[in-house]
Amino acid sequence: MPEPSISPLAQRSPAILVLLLLCAMVGGALGGLLGDLVAGSMGVQMTDITQGAAPRLLDLTQRNAVRWFNLLAHLGAFTLGSLATAWLAYRGGWLRNTYLNTWPRLQALPYILWLLLGGFFLMQLIYWLNRQLPLPDWMWDMENQQNWLVEQVIRMESPLEFLLTLLVAAVAPAFGEELLFRGLIQPQLRRWAGSVHLAVWVTAALFSAIHLQFAGFIPRLLLGAMLGYLLVWTGSLWAPILAHFLFNGVQIVTVYAFGQEFDTETPPEVNATSIGLALLGLVLFWWSARQLQTLAPPPSEPEPSPTGPPDPG
């Protein structure tokens, strides 16, 4: 089988990243415009939601309008923008070069789940520590606004609301954000800088920053790094996609199944139990990471040739 053709653009990392930014901006603008139209058809103006009175409870129609707006804007910026960039940069080889054409080894799946569980326990304590850091007022204002919107999206009073929320907050982010950050940005930084670790951590920092929730920046940074290393260790983008979906999805299922309020304002309590769970999480995380590294595909150097195979993240 002949090697897929790759545009010369794919060999110039800054050019691809600029192209990705442009495609994401255009896609986000189109998605946001469509989202505004959908919300308007439901009798809701998004400006009234985001710039209205102090944070308040939204009714069902308003909540669904916010969900549809977020879904369409996200699909436009992340999924459509990333797919357009991948096609323009890699042509017929876009699946291979974004690591979507391979699946993680079956033996790796249990370790991915253990890694995720360990990471979740550990990040609860790190989230508490992050919230102890002093932040300027404008960061807290932005944090509170984002938290309020998340709380409204996560309010679910029917199975249909649950399914739509799962689509908005788990399925779409898992695919779109992983395609953009781990499928496009991380490999290009790897080729550009020649360092796997630098690429993973810079990508993770961008991933955390784009959420505009600074009181959770550090745990989200670590989540991004974990997702980045999953790509490195498995050679498949489906591994971080699965992990991202489960990380978000399990929390949504828990909130809906047990009728819990999704409280983004109160950090988790720090006591002997939470510290013990964090230590257990650290052990699980370390052990799972070591197991995944033993299953990792052999490392390869970045290929300068336009027809060479992609490096593993």
Distance CA(135)–CA(216), nearest Å, equals 12
Say what the pLDDT of residue 265 is: 55
Give yes or no for a contact between 7 and 56, defined as CB atoms under 8 angstroms apart: no
- pLDDT tens for residues 212-257? 888 889 999 999 999 999 999 999 999 999 999 999 999 999 999 8
- The pLDDT, as a whole number, for residue 131 is 85
What average pLDDT does range 140-162 have in this prediction?
86
| pLDDT given at position 140 | 80
- Integer Cα distance of 311 and 148 in angstroms: 40
Total residues found in the chain within this entry: 313
C-alpha neighbours within 13 Å on the C-beta side of residue 85: 33
pLDDT interval class at 49 (50, 70, 90): confident
User: In this structure, is the dihedral angle defined by the CA atoms of residues 153, 200, 246 and 168, taken in order, positive or negative?
Assistant: positive
Handedness of CA 87, 92, 97, 98 (dihedral sign): positive
- Averaged pLDDT for residues 71-98: 92
Residue 267 is predicted with a pLDDT of 59
Question: Under a CB-based contact definition with an 8 Å cutoff, are residues 179 and 82 in contact?
Answer: yes
Kindly state the tokens that stand for 268.
């988790």
Distance of CA 261 to the CA centre of its chain: 23
**Average pLDDT of span 23-43:** 92
Predicted model pTM: 0.86
Read off the pLDDT of residues 240-299 as tens digits, 9 standing for 90 and up.
Answer: 999 999 999 999 999 998 876 555 555 566 777 878 888 998 999 999 999 898 887 655
Please give the residue that has the higher pLDDT: either 58 or 78: 78
pLDDT at 187 over 60: yes
Q: Tokens 């959770």 map to which residue?
A: 216
Burial of 266 (0-12, 13-18, 19+ CB in 10 A): exposed
* Amino acid letter, 256: Y
Measuring CA to CA, which residue among 204, 203, 198, 230 is closest to residue 219?
204
**Mean pLDDT rounded to a whole number for the chain:** 84
